[in-house]
Structure 1
Amino acid sequence: MNSPVRPDRPWQRSTSTDDSDFIDLKKIWHAVWSRKWGIVLLVAVVAVLMAVLLSRMTPIYKAVTSVIIEVKGTPVVSFQPANAPTEVSEYLQTQLSLIQSRGVAEKVVRDLELTEHPEFDLRQQPGPLIDIGGMLDAIMGEEPEPLTEAQIMDHATQVFMDRTTVWVEGKSQLVYLSVAMADKLMAAQAANHLATSYIEAQLEAKVEMSMTAASWMNTRLVDLRQNLKDSEDRLQAYLDAEGLVDMDGVGTISANELSLTGDRMIDARRQRAEAESQFRQVESMRDQGWERLASVPAVLGHPLIQQFKADRAHARSRVEDLSRRYGDRHPAMQSARSDLNAATASLRQQVEQVVASIERSYQLAVANENSLRASFNDNKEQIQDISRKEFKVRDLQREVEANRALYDTFMTRLQETTATSDLSSTNARIVDEAIPPAQASEPNTRLFMVVALFLALVVGIAQAIIREILDNTFKSSDEVETKLNLPVMGIVPQVPRNLRKQVSHLFQRNEEKRFCEAIRTIRTNITLTEGNQPRQVLVVTSTAPGEGKSSVSANLAFAMGQLNRVLLIDADLRRATLDQTFEFAPGTPGLANLIGGNAKLDDCIRSVGNVDMISAGTVPSNPLELLSSPRFAKLLEAVKGRYDRIIIDSPPSQAVSDAAVLSILADAVIYVIKSESTLIPHAQKGVAQLLQSNAPVAGVVLNHVDVEKAKRNGQFRGYYDHYGYSEQTV
């Protein structure tokens, strides 16, 4: 939001309030650019120091050997069993650890005699700058203990391990081994020897494993041989105890006998069943007479029974035939009856014999069945016993066969291990041997220099930005009007260095057009703000010494002298400059002499061009009392009648209280601020003290402004608005 321009202050510019969250990159760039030479100097100093440091550093050369490590090496002679597969990444990590192991490092140190090399020998290493332990031993009169071989070897090994680096190339099986040393020839030799020592260690480990395995198998083979002999002895002892020769033959015979006995027992059972059936038929009809028995199918079917029955029937048929012709006592009849009785008796006898034969057959069938059953049971028990013995024999035989197979396997593996122990191959081989490097790997001069210069540049830029942030001084008219709430009556540009000693004479001599125009602008602004009541007495003061109030007072006096009668009074009795600037004669009376009554006014006035001047005179011991005395007020009243403008060069407001005393007698106070030098809090305090004394502070003059820098910061137009001319008119 822009603040309005006050109509009674034509010199005031419209100001704007910036957003506190807005980062002004242009302002940052100008802050850096304004301090560019300091940044360049810092970068140059850092570059020189880094160059000196790098030149004093010992170059380190890194020799690299490449080795391929296959997950499963190609064996010279392949035997079973095969090893289980291993993850490639885990295997390579294990091999990397083995390469960097202490055992391999010690072998390299021992073989190359690195304990005698200056980079590894503990006895040749520089000691600490302040050896407290050695100093204590010297004070106590104790001799330091000599280094042992173990300590020297341990130190050399540790240093070699620290200088060894191993890494894998991507996802391949190619491994790189590097050794960093100041001696590039020894670095290459050490890298190659490290790879060779690793491969030899792998071979030695495999040979040692083979020998250990052979020794273990020899010991185990003795136990297996004894186990085989014991199992064979147990089998033979059992065979001898049981009287067994051929278990297969005995078992076969017993099985055949059991099968035949079973078949015969089946037949006997069938025969016994048939005999029992006939016996049951006969037994059930025994009480019904022999004739009833003769009708039984088992009896009736007998051939003799049928024949005797036929004979009986024939005899009966003859009797019946004869009975129809003869009587009972007829000899033929009696002979026929005698034949019938004989045939009946023979039939009865034969039936009884057949019945008895059926009973005997049944008894024999039962006896035969029982005998065969007993024989079958005996054969079955015998076979079961043989089976049990066979199982025992088979168990003993399996034990013998298992022990013999294990013994044969161990014997074969032992022979293979013994025969191939010197044929072991490693799965690692050197691809490229290390050669002495042509360039040092450390220090990386280019990288270190670039990083150092970059950091120096960053630090320089950061320092410039921080200084800009912490710079609590006035750099523009906007800051003056905002911080002090006073109008800027003029902006005085910075003059070239060759003119700074004569800065108080610039307007008088009309040198440095830009400076002279700035003084005219101040004169114009003072005139415009007077209105109908001119400001006759002007007091020019500042916050602290060195801000240019005296040069502003002198040049403003010459500027106003072109229009009015002007008197310039040097009231800075403690640090007078007027007499030295304008080369007054030594001992020239001045203001201190007038107030003290030691000189007259006309004797103290010196004319320089169109301006009359009163110097400070003899420096008194009590300047504040002199300026506060009524004599000084009377002096001002006296000179007011003679001059249109009285300009008083006052002491700084923050240094002493003289400015506050002088401001009471003034019609206007001009406050001079040195650009980029006067601290804002100090200026605020100085202005506040003057306002508390009711001093008529008319405005501020911003002195010693770097116009070119202001132009780069975007403030050029504002400054030249005050000057009233363009750059081409300069």
Structure 2
Amino acid sequence: MNSPVRPDRPWQRPAGPAADSDFIDLKKIWHAIWSRKWGIVLLVAVVAVLTLFLLSRMTPIYKAVATVLIESKGTPVLSFQPAADTPVELSEYLQTQLSLMQSRGVAERVVRDLNLTEHPEFDLRQQPGPLVDIGGLIDTLTGEEPEPITEAEVMDYATQKFMERTSVWVEGKSQLVYLAVSMADNLTAAQATNQLAQAYIEAQLEAKVDMSMTAASWMNERLVSLRENLQASEDRLQAYLDAEGLVDLNGVGTISANELSLTGDRMIDARRQRAEAESQYRQVQSMRSQGWERLASVPAVLGHPLIQQFKADQAHARSRVEDLSRRYGNRHPAMVSARSDLNAATASLKQQVEQVVASIERNYQLAVANESSLKASFDENKDRIQDISRKEFKVRDLQREVESDRALYDTFMTRLQETTATSDLSSTNARVVDAAIPPTEPSAPNKKLILVVALFLALVLGIAQAIIREILDNTFKSSEEVESKLGLPVMGIVPQVPRKLRKEVSHLFERSGDKRFCEAVRTIRTNLLLTEASQPRQVLVITSTAPGEGKSSVSANLAFAMGQLHRVLLIDADLRRATLDKAFDFKPGTPGLVNLIGGNAKLEDCIHTVGNVDMIAAGAVPSNPLELLSSPRFAKLLEVVKGRYDRIIIDSPPSQAVSDAAVLSTLADAVIYVVKSDSTLIPHVQKGVSQLQNSNAPVTGVVLNHVDIEKAKKNGQFRGYYDHYGYSEPQTV
């Protein structure tokens, strides 16, 4: 659970909107930077000197640049060209060529052509070794001989170094490629750049020639296989023709087709004739059982010319009989002759009818036989044509196979001849536009830029360090911070004294050593007296958070200031770290507070007068200082000296180090808390004050000690106060 917030402890209050950290105080940041300006200037100066030193040690590097034009498709030299890869997009093609320019193969060619393995910048054998050769030390300790450097290692090192110093780029969307080599030797850099471009072009030419030769070799092998395939397909065609006895398949097919057509026409006629004969035959057959007279009435029989003639002869003979029968009797010779003629005509008619009927039957049988014969011939011709069609299809298939193999063989033969003819044709899509010339100015290092960047980074680092230190500096710097965070009044602000006076800081007020310091002590005395009202504060305890904050010097100088007005006794109650005897050069073994409480010395023997102030030193260092200060003898001692002095100032141990200050505060009328400016952390001070207040100590106010007045004035604190009053002559109140 959270402890309740006391109104006299503002540092325990929760931060409100006013304490929102989103607000950026630019003025405070500027003051933080300005207060540390000399540190920033020193950092920038050191960085500048180091940068200049390093720049003077750097070797100038020269960059030679050559320009190469790379076309995606070159102008044809002949009407036919050697085999090439499938064209790709221009950007992809250029990126591929850039990678080829920076390839290891091209780099090795340049190193080999220029003999860069002997150049000092690329020779592994001339490179300085490491500062500490661990491998060499191990070989020395083990007695092993170091392995000699091989030619392969020298070549590999030179190639790697050359690749690291090579750069290739394209500007914009053009097809101009820039090659650059950076070296300390400007002449060699130009030679290496030009050789790099030439090596790339030669590598491209060799690649094309190798590709053409590889294609020709492959096509030769393929051509043998295609020739075998063509020969096999021709043999299969000829074997089939021989097996089937085919010579002119087209002529045979045409004759068979014509025969089939004629046979079809004849079969149609035969079918028609058979139908007609069958019709007559059916008529005759249907009347045969009814006598020959009915047969004579059949249209097929009746229409016969002879039947008509015989039928006319019969009719004429019957007409003659009928005429004679009206004149003569049956036995009349004329009648007999006429009947004899009629019978002869009827017999002839009957005979002729039978002959016609027989002829009709024969015609029908012939028509049927003729139709059957033609149908058989048609079927035979049709089967033969189908067989010819199948053979023709097979022949066509074999011929297509032969033609396909021949076309493929001819194509490969033509392509092989073209490739063979162009295998030694030197053609490339790259050419040097501008050759590299030895540069006169080094490209690196850019000393001005490096120096400017180094100074800028140093300045930024110094400013960042100042701001970070300001942010992390959680100490008291002004009286406003003390009052807002502790809720206690500031009794005085003690300025920082010059270094030459710090050894005598306890005597400054007594000797008027520093006017500003003395004026600050008078201000503390005045503020303390003004807070007393009608009840004087006789016993005054002065403490701090930690050692080294100046509480002892404040106690001594405040005692001298009080001594101008009252009888003052200064007691050194810091039994663990006594300072009074050292500050005022008391003799070793001088009896003090420890001796008084222990009953080993008299009060008169322990009191020493310095100026207008009586002092009691700490005495011998005890083993139980807290027990001595908590003992009734110490309280009785205070009662005794209260009757003899108007003011008793006790120099107490720090509140955070031990509990002595809390014990002494219970016997005091007022407690002054000393805080060292820009040193003690705020949470530590808050904790120390809180511990005293929890012991019901009468904490009266705070003294902000060791304040850098010049720095505070630049930060906008205490402006004008010491300018007007800090140098005034000491006055008595």
The TM-score by the shorter chain falls in which range? 0.7 to 0.9
2:560 pairs with one of 557, 564, 571:
557
CA deviation string 1:321-368 (max 9, x = no partner) = 333333444444444334333333333332233223223322322232
Distance 1:109 1:4 in 2: 84
- CA separation of 1:439/1:516 partners in 2, compared to 1, >3 Å: closer, same or farther? same
Partners of 1:573 and 1:291 lie apart in 2 by 185
Residue deviations 1:595-635 (CA, integer Å, cap 9, x gap): 9999999x9868xxxx6467999x9867999999999x999
Q: How many residues align?
A: 700
Shift of 1:698: 5.4
Pairwise mapping of residues 223-238 of structure 1 onto structure 2 (< 5 A)?
223-238=225-240
Q: CA deviation at 1:148?
A: 1.8
Maintained 8 Å contact 2:496/2:706: yes
The residue that corresponds to 1:76 in the other structure is: 77
Amino acid in structure 2 at the alignment position of 1:19? A
State the match for 1:275 in structure 2: 277
Does 2:186 align with 1:184? Answer: yes
Partner of 2:704: 702
Q: Distance in 2 between matches of 1:153 and 1:624?
A: 80
Instruction: Return closer, same or farther for 1:289/1:161 CA change in 2, 3 Å cut-off.
Output: same
Measure, in 1, the Cα distance between the counterparts of 2:489 and 2:425.
103
Q: 1:301 to 1:466 in 2, by over 3 A?
A: closer
Pairing partner for 2:550 from 547, 552, 565: 547
1:67 and 1:174 in contact (8 A); partners too? yes
Q: Which residue of 1 aligns with 2:160?
A: 158
Aligned to 1:407: 409
Counterpart CA distance in 1 for 2:8 and 2:355 is 172
Could you say if the C-alpha distance between residues 441 and 316 of structure 1 is closer, same or farther in structure 2, counting changes exceeding 3 Å? same
Q: Given the alignment of the two structures, is residue 304 of structure 1 paired with residue 306 of structure 2, yes or no? A: yes
Closer, same or farther in 2 for the Cα pair 1:4/1:538, shift >3 Å?
A: closer
Residue of structure 2 in register with 1:253 after alignment: 255
The 5 Å alignment of 1:483-522 reads 487-494=489-496, 515=517, 517-522=519-524
The verdict on how the C-alpha distance between 1:699 and 1:379 changes in structure 2, with shifts beyond 3 A counting, is closer
Distance 2:147 2:433 in 1: 46
Report the alpha carbon displacement of residue 673 of structure 1 after superposing the two structures with TM. 4.5
What are the ranges of 5 or more consecutive residues in structure 2 without an aligned counterpart? Answer: 1-5, 10-14, 573-577
CA distance in 2 between partners of 1:453 and 1:125 (Å): 33
Alignment of 1:12-31 (within 5 A): 19=19, 21=21, 25=25, 26-31=27-32
Query: 1:475 touches 1:675 (CA, 8 Å); kept in 2?
Result: yes
- State the shift of 1:437 in Å: 4.2
Residue in structure 1 matched with residue 47 of structure 2 by the alignment: 46
Residues 672-722 of structure 1: CA deviation (Å, up to 9, x unaligned): 5543345667777988999999997754433342334333434326x84xx
Q: 1-side partners of 2:230 and 2:663: how far apart? A: 130
User: Following the alignment from structure 2 to structure 1, what is the Cα–Cα distance between the partners of residues 666 and 84?
Assistant: 112
Sequence identity of aligned pairs in percent? Answer: 71
Give the equivalent residue in structure 2 for 1:366: 368
Letter in 2 for 1:547: G
**1:422-433 superposed matches below 5 A:** 422-423=424-425, 425-433=427-435
Query: What residue identity is the alignment partner of 1:97?
Result: S
Letter of the 2:295 partner, please give it: L
| Amino acid of the structure 2 residue aligned with 1:47 | A
- Does the 8 A contact of 2:35 with 2:715 survive in 1? no
Partner of 1:13: none
Structure 1: segments with no counterpart, 5+ residues:
7-15, 581-586
Are residues 1:127 and 2:129 paired? Answer: yes
CA distance in 2, matches of 1:87, 1:46: 50
Tell me, what secondary structure is at the counterpart of 1:179?
A: strand
CA distance in 1, matches of 2:111, 2:23: 62
- 1:230 maps to a residue whose letter is A
- Which shows bigger deviation, 326-335 or 144-153? 326-335
RMSD over aligned Cα, in angstroms? 4.9
| Deviation at residue 417 of structure 1 after TM alignment | 1.5
Q: CA deviation at 1:88?
A: 4.3
Distance 1:68 1:620 in 2: 97
Q: What does residue 206 of structure 1 align with?
A: 208
1:35 pairs with 2:36: yes
- In the aligned structure 1, how far is the partner of 2:276 from the partner of 2:245? 44
- Match of 2:158, SS state, is helix
Question: C-alpha distance in 2, partners of 1:624/1:379?
Answer: 147
Q: Do the aligned partners of 2:538 and 2:642 also contact (CA within 8 Å) in 1?
A: no
Distance 1:343 1:177 in 2: 133
Change (3 A) 1:713 1:591: farther
Change (3 A) 1:550 1:364: closer
Change (3 A) 1:494 1:222: closer
User: Do the aligned partners of residues 545 and 614 (structure 1) sit closer, same or farther apart at CA in structure 2, a change above 3 Å counting?
Assistant: farther
When residues 376 and 235 of structure 1 are mapped into structure 2, their CA distance, relative to the original with a 3 A threshold, is: same
* C-alpha distance 286-699 of structure 1, shift in aligned 2 (>3 A): closer
- What does residue 318 of structure 2 align with? 316
Secondary structure at the aligned position of 1:212 is classed as: helix
Q: CA deviation at 1:444?
A: 4.1
Q: Which residue of 2 aligns with 1:9?
A: none
Shift of residue 252, structure 1, vs aligned partner = 1.2
Per-residue deviation, residues 162-216 of structure 1 (Å, max 9, x unmatched): 3333444455555444433333333333333333323322222222111111122
- How has the CA–CA distance of structure 1 residues 573 and 551 changed in structure 2, closer, same or farther, with 3 Å as cutoff? closer
CA distance in 2, matches of 1:604, 1:283: 186
SS of the residue corresponding to residue 19 of structure 2 reads: coil
Q: Is the 8 A contact 2:551 2:674 kept in 1?
A: yes
Change (3 A) 1:402 1:659: closer
* 1:578 to partner: Cα distance: 4.8
Look up the match of 1:56. Answer: 57
Tell me if the contact between 1:73 and 1:427 (Cα under 8 Å) persists in the aligned partners: yes
Q: Deviations over 1:355-409 (max 9, x none)?
A: 2322332232223223322322332233233223222322222222112211111
Query: Counterpart of 1:423 in 2: which secondary structure?
Result: coil
Task: State the AA in 2 paired with 1:273.
Answer: A
Moved more, 59-68 or 508-517: 508-517
- AA at the equivalent of 2:19: D
